[in-house]
Chains A and B, each alone.
Chain A
């Protein structure tokens, strides 16, 4: 396998220009959804889906208002270019019944479009709401980390277009080193809430190949925390146990019903059975 690749998205330098969104759509030939007024800051993309594989979130956050922003009656934003996290323990791949979702030689998560049959189980499983169903292709779609570009030793379109290097692409180990340095820099500058999300294997889903530097808690960005980031398979044992218990109790209940009928007192006559006949005159062979 080639060296594991990934994204390190440093939200502290994201300016919300959406060049990543445009570059992604250009390269991957995504037409996007029809424009709509979402009344959500400067965000008119809304969410990640089959047509939006990068989404710049504009998070209005009063906690980040400073004298500088309030003086101009301004608004403080947290900006974040969201994308598929390419989880090491990917919920989507776990539940995919067709094995359409695989790990590539670059250790990224990829939906094989010629295998996916559009069951949408991965959409129900993805804890980040990344995957969308495309009516055009009839399949589930998401960021491929520009698999075709990687195969040709090129940088993914979004990272190439990012003017502030908020989106960095490279070997995962190099990105992790760069992220550690940047975090230390920010902490030293007094940004005590700055933290890395998905950098470490024990944090969320075995670590993320697309990890982030956040300026606030993960939940502020709409990301599950370590406690709530759980794989769908956690419910397998409990779910089937429930079925087994229900099955056993139902059989016992039915058995009791049959026994009650056998033990019915003489004063409570059994209903007269209809004569057993079949249309062809046969029957009763059992």
Chain B
């Protein structure tokens, strides 16, 4: 087995990129969940679906802002899309460069997120009369579903490509595994489910979908575990596992793994078991949904931080 050898310098992608990776996962995950709730759910799931779509756009808008602030020349952000070379202005699209592909993916997903956001605002009758009805007719119904389905393809891409972006490099840890893209996607979906559950407290009717979101999250957690195992195995083969798990990053990995316990516990039979002080030996109680959601979200951050920092030191 060939052990990976790296002499590359770290790109110093730190806090802005960590925040971007988090928000990209949550934005893409929220949109995808919204579509699932609409297509496969009950009529009562519509409120949670709308919440997903209402969250997806603001989260998506924050993504390019974070990326722009992280640039050495923020005012040249548009160079990602427009080639300013000597041949004259042209569209800049390099499908083999995940950063180029991601810039376009983010832009296109933003359009779909915006269209659905406008539709949901109309369905909520937030526009002045009679605009809401008009927008809902144009963007809703069958056209809205088509937008949802196509938008979900880009949503899943945005949530997952960030892992591929890291892999397509010569950095230790990042470039030694194919699993980062799938891992970030699974984690983004899990985080989005937690976020929707959390924010559902502030939208009437959204709690009706909590049960199915929890159940779906447990599947996402299983998927995340599978990709984590794949990551660790591939890193071990490349001789980079020790570097990835080096203190203090091992603490971040531990957080990421622990945050999967509540959703996995749900998969294995419901709430966490907590000892009671009474005569009954053990009483099964449901841990507060809010606490669990926050815990899962912290794990989503920890996972990305562990990946980013363990490679760059």
Other-chain residue from B6, B163, B166, B212 in contact with A257 (beta carbon distance below 8 A): B212
Interface membership of B289, Cβ < 8 A: no
CB of B171 within 8 A of CB of A277, answer no
Could you tell me which residues of chain B, from 56 to 91, have a CB within 8 Å of some CB in chain A?
70-74, 76-77, 79-80, 83-85
Q: Given that A235-B178, A253-B220, A279-B124 are contacting pairs, would A124 and B11 also be in contact in the complex, using a CB cutoff of 8 Å?
A: yes
Which of A120, A124, A125, A232 has the largest count of B CB atoms less than 10 A from its CB? A124
Contact pick for A253, options B163, B180, B205, B216, CB 8 Å: B216
Q: Is B156 a contact of A247 with CB atoms below 8 Å?
A: yes
Does any Cβ of B come within 8 Å of A278's Cβ? yes
Question: 1/0 per residue A191-220: CB within 8 Å of B?
Answer: 000000000000000000000000000010
Chain B nearest Cβ from A43, distance in angstroms: 16
Q: Give B50 Cβ to nearest chain A Cβ, in Å.
A: 8
B97 touches A95 (CB 8 A): yes
CA distance A91 to B219 in the complex (A): 38
Q: Are B12 and A120 in contact (CB-based, < 8 A)?
A: yes
Chain B, 123-158, contact with A by CB distance < 8 Å: what is the 0/1 string?
Answer: 111100000100010001100100000000000110
Contacts of A30 in B (CB 8 A): none
With A118-B71, A253-B223 as contacts: A273 and B205 at CB distance below 8 Å: yes
For A224, give the chain B residue with the smallest CB separation. Answer: B5
Instruction: Count chain B residues whose beta carbon lies closer than 8 angstroms to a beta carbon of A.
Output: 92
Query: Is A235 touching B216 in the complex (CB atoms < 8 A)?
Result: no
Give the interface segment out of A8-16, A34-42, A132-140, A178-186: A132-140
Whether, in the assembled complex, B292 has its beta carbon less than 8 Å from a beta carbon of chain A, the answer is no
Max chain B CB contacts within 10 Å: which of A112, A260, A285? A285
Residue of A nearest to B175 (CB): A235
Chain A residues 105 to 140 lying within 8 A of chain B, measured CB to CB, are 112, 114-121, 123-129, 131-135, 137-140
CB contacts (< 8 Å) of A116 on chain B: these are: 72-73, 76, 79
* Residue interface bits A254-280, CB-to-B below 8 A is 1, else 0: 111110110000000011011111111
Report B135 CB to chain A, min CB distance, Å.
Answer: 11
Cα-based distance from A224 to B2 in the complex (angstroms): 13
A125 to chain B, nearest CB (A): 5
Q: Which of B13, B42, B72, B180 has the largest number of chain A CB atoms within 10 A?
A: B72
Contacting pair A49 B180 (CB below 8 A): no
* 10 smallest beta-carbon distances between A and B, as pairs: A118-B72, A253-B219, A138-B72, A246-B182, A238-B178, A239-B164, A282-B125, A273-B208, A117-B76, A242-B182
